[in-house]
Structure 1
Amino acid sequence: MPTRQEKFDAFARLHAQEGCFVIANAWNAGSAKILDALGFKALATTSAGLAFAIGERDSSNRLDRETMLANAKEIVDATSLPVSADLENGFAESPEDCASIIGGAIAAGLVGCTIEDATGNTDKPIYDFELAVDRISACVEAGRGQNFLLTARSENYLHGRPELDDTIRRLQAFEKAGADVLYAPGLPDLAAIRAVCESVNKPVNVVMGLSGPTWSVGVLAQAGVKRISVGGSFARAALGGLVRAAEEVLNSGTFAYADDALPHAAALRFMAGKGEGG
């Protein structure tokens, strides 16, 4: 098993190479093993995927940092790949309390994480600009010298604030504060994605698989994107298969879904880290 240093080095190289790469979001050890065996080069966790797996809604009010870090360690321990964690808003408001999660992330074996500027409060969904920047600055300082890539997220577009200028302003400030990767989920079109990429000098992450338009890896690379994540969409795809199978049984009394199910032997090979073919 590679050391954490070796995983960090591999993760850093992915962000430095030409073009862009896909970081696949795993929600437990089994999904991590499958994604590793299929050939992805890095993994991320997903708060949505974890929440759905434990019967909760995707919200920092429904999950806590201990649950998130335990899930992340489960994924880290299951794979040889570098893993970055979705740590929502750090489960704290103040810069100091937010940054305190970084030590736990490093102890779990993670080589990076994302911290967002969403509050979890529907009345005021986005942190004020200065506080948002101070939170990222504190997280950067907490990870300094620890071989840890911090991704800073501007959540405007996911919370009814389609304000590209403010989103770019925040990402630029996060970059100045020391964030290694910048991320604004929910950007509406390629023009907005290109504008974000051209406005900063650090790698930009874009999420695909959400509702709305999707673009290929090649198209996003041409727009300047360095990293593509899939958020909770792989987990939702798995849940979609479950729903379709269950509805077939309930509504038709048939079991044709089994024809498309992953064969038991293939599942065993994935869990052994050998991949579907071997």
Structure 2
Amino acid sequence: MTGTAAAARLRELHHNRKPGEALVLPGAWDPAAARAFAQAGFTALATPSAGVAASLGYADGECPADEMFAAVARIVRAVGIPVSADIERGYGLPPSEIAERLRDAGAVGCNLEDSVDGELVAAGEQAEFLAAVREALGDGPDGPFLNARVDVHLRGSEKPLEEALARGRAYVAAGADGVYPIGAPLNDLAVLARELPVPVNGLARFADGGPSVAELAAAGCARVTFGGGLAEHAYKGVREMAAELHR
């Protein structure tokens, strides 16, 4: 599912949700996984950069842009539901090319993070970058959903909640449709969800004791994703199968 109708549908799915209810977007790392999630009844997907990189034989953060966008395109073609793409911080591409490549791949949303090589980008610089991407993507009810990742809880900050709020507000003012404070604890997510005027994305930890979908939704997250966790869980199963076969 591509084009303006898919973009409008993805936007619609983020809003008008009941309290304590979140849009759950499984992270499909290849077309077979995407079909499995779609057949299970999920209404949209979010590709994980780490999972896609692993499927292509790369470490997280080392997949070339051409291969990442080609993989996203294959995932989009495999399903009839909207797909949002995790594209790290855009691979150094100018905003116009980021928008063009997303359109060519058929993705109707994207994540853009605010750190590079483990270091936070200055908030003002990131806001300007997001504004340029927003302009290139187009705005309005059928524009692609721009999800702005906030990495302060990952990268270290003396006052992570305060900085996440400041960055979140700046990114929303720049045109972000959602804010993704990755790694934020539930208490901080609850504050961010209450204070920011856009859907807040919580990261669910699959099968490792972290926040569950239900806990994140109860904290006010309107959107829940899994990062590369679902792919890693699947590959763990493959490794266990391989060890069993090799006995």
- TM-score by structure 1 length? 0.81
| C-alpha contact 1:99 1:135 (8 A) present in aligned 2 | no
Residue number in structure 2 paired with 1:264? none
* Structure 1, unpaired ranges of 5+: 254-278
Q: 1:30-52: per-residue Cα shift (whole Å, max 9, x none)?
A: 11111111111100111111111
Distance 1:244-1:211 versus aligned 2 partners, 3 A rule:
closer
CA distance in 2, matches of 1:166, 1:210: 27
For residue 183 of structure 1, the aligned residue among 180, 204, 225 is: 180
CA distance in 1, matches of 2:207, 2:49: 17
Runs of 4+ in 1 over 4 A off after TM superposition: 210-213
CA distance in 2, matches of 1:161, 1:69: 32
For residue 125 of structure 2, the aligned residue among 122, 131, 141 is: 131
CA distance in 2, matches of 1:248, 1:208: 29
Distance 1:193-1:3 versus aligned 2 partners, 3 A rule:
closer
CA distance in 2, matches of 1:157, 1:116: 12
Map residues 44-55 of structure 1 onto 2, 5 A cutoff: 44-55=46-57
Three-state SS of the structure 1 residue aligned to 2:198 is: coil
Give 1:106 deviation, angstroms. 1.6
Q: Which amino acid aligns with 2:124?
A: E
Q: Which amino acid aligns with 2:50?
A: A
Give 1:76 deviation, angstroms. 0.6
Distance 1:177-1:213 versus aligned 2 partners, 3 A rule:
farther
Give 1:89 deviation, angstroms. 0.5
Map residues 111-126 of structure 1 onto 2, 5 A cutoff: 111-120=108-117, 122=118, 125-126=119-120
Distance 1:126-1:113 versus aligned 2 partners, 3 A rule:
same
CA distance in 2, matches of 1:6, 1:191: 36
Q: Which amino acid aligns with 2:201?
A: N
CA distance in 1, matches of 2:131, 2:209: 33
Q: Which amino acid aligns with 1:32?
A: A
The aligned length equals: 241
Residue number in structure 2 paired with 1:157? 153
Give 1:16 deviation, angstroms. 1.2
Give 1:67 deviation, angstroms. 1.4
Pick which of 83-92 and 220-229 moved more: 220-229
Three-state SS of the structure 1 residue aligned to 2:238 is: helix
Residue number in structure 2 paired with 1:245? 241
Three-state SS of the structure 1 residue aligned to 2:197 is: coil
Three-state SS of the structure 2 residue aligned to 1:88 is: coil
Q: Which amino acid aligns with 2:205?
A: G
Residue number in structure 2 paired with 1:13? 12
| C-alpha contact 1:208 1:229 (8 A) present in aligned 2 | yes
CA distance in 1, matches of 2:233, 2:24: 17
Give 1:211 deviation, angstroms. 8.8
Pick which of 219-228 and 66-75 moved more: 219-228
Map residues 255-266 of structure 1 onto 2, 5 A cutoff: none
| C-alpha contact 1:8 1:147 (8 A) present in aligned 2 | yes
| Percent of residue pairs bearing the same amino acid type | 31
Q: Which amino acid aligns with 1:45?
A: T
Residue number in structure 2 paired with 1:31? 33
Distance 1:99-1:154 versus aligned 2 partners, 3 A rule:
farther
- TM-score by structure 2 length? 0.91
Q: Which has the higher contact order (CA 8 A, sep 6+)?
A: 2
**What do you get for the CA RMSD once the two structures are aligned?**
1.9
| C-alpha contact 2:204 2:213 (8 A) present in aligned 1 | no
Give 1:140 deviation, angstroms. 0.9
* Structure 2, unpaired ranges of 5+: none
Residue number in structure 2 paired with 1:43? 45
Q: Which amino acid aligns with 2:92?
A: A
Residue number in structure 2 paired with 1:78? 78
